[in-house]
């Protein structure tokens, strides 16, 4: 058994070396501009590639992103790729864009969890950010959806292991029309508030994504989005702490693109975006450059 353990430890060590070598191959980025002023939040722009792309198409897209010029220093950028393409980001993506994943297993350790990828493995592959609670996973597609407590447990496991999390919440069209938007958001946030300690929130961004505006071309007006973001911040102040509410970044994710990013990001409680379709094209940089 000691012999087998020695082999396993050696394999893990070699894998770590390979991952490190891949990460060091990333081409240098060109972040520039003025950093966020003291007391202000840095904008967080996350790209969610969802279940899209091939090695060929994403290699071409990464090359395009690498050549699209500087990222303002007051903007943090991450791209969340399908797991199978995370190594591609690690090898080819400019190093001023963080690598992200779209899901993380609820299992705290490696083991007999067929089909899952745990937080340790994501970190080992160079992942910094992970999306948890996206509406498509909450709702389910053929498979059963993930309920509020499961999302909160996954959030806590990811944070405990050292990942940063974009925690997605949001209401459906009929819930918006019924005037229950904040009730829905509060229900999705409540288990997280129970499981997380105050320090955990330093590595959480709340991604408000109205389900009716994801991939539909519909977008909340800047005023509508601001109203909900302000209500979310008020809820955090009441149920977590005023300090966390002041510091936590709240992204908007509902068909944000270059054409509307500037107006949305100008709102006082919108601290970034979680971008779907536009993150698969050069327009992603128009969103990045839309930050004030």
pLDDT of amino acid 212 = 84
> Is 229 considered catalytic here?
no
Q: What pLDDT is recorded for position 214?
A: 80
First to last CA, the chain: 59
Catalytic residue selected from 76, 134, 146, 171:
134
What's the pTM? 0.89
Look at residue 19 in the predicted model and tell me its pLDDT.
46
Residues in the chain, overall count: 292
Identified catalytic residue from 76, 146, 171, 209: 209
- Residue 134 catalytic? yes
For residue 219, the model assigns a pLDDT of: 77
pLDDT computed for residue 136 by the predictor: 92
What are the residue ranges in the chain where pLDDT is below 50? 1-8, 11-12, 14-23
Q: Which of 181, 198, 272 is nearest to 241 (CA)?
A: 198
């Amino acid at each position: 058994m000691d012999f087998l353990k020695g082999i396993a430890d050696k394999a893990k060590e070699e894998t770590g070396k390979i991952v490190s070598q891949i990460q060091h191959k990333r081409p240098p980025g060109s972040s520039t501009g003025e950093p966020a002023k003291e007391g202000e939040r840095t904008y967080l722009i996350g790209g969610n590639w969802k279940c899209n792309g091939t090695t060929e198409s994403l290699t071409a897209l990464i090359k395009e992103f690498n050549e699209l010029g500087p990222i303002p220093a007051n903007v943090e950028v991450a791209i969340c790729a399908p797991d199978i393409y995370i190594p591609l980001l690690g090898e080819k993506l400019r190093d001023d864009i963080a690598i992200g994943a779209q899901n993380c297993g609820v299992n705290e350790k490696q083991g007999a969890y067929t089909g899952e990828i745990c937080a340790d493995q994501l970190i080992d592959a160079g992942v910094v950010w992970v999306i948890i609670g996206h509406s498509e996973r909450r709702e389910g597609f053929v498979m059963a959806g993930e309920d509020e407590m499961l999302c909160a447990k996954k959030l806590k496991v990811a944070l405990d292991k050292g990942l940063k999390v974009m925690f997605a919440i949001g209401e459906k069209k009929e819930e918006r029309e019924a005037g229950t938007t904040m009730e829905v958001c509060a229900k999705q946030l409540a288990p997280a508030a129970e499981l997380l300690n105050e320090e955990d929130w330093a590595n959480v961004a709340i991604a408000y994504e109205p389900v009716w505006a994801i991939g539909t071309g519909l977008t909340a007006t800047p005023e509508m989005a601001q109203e909900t973001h302000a209500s979310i911040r008020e809820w955090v102040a009441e149920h977590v702490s005023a300090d966390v509410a002041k510091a936590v970044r709240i992204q908007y994710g509902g068909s944000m693109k270059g054409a509307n990013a500037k107006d949305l990001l100008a709102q006082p409680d919108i601290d970034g975006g979680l971008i779907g379709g536009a993150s698969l094209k050069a327009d992603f940089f128009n969103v990045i450059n839309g930050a004030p």
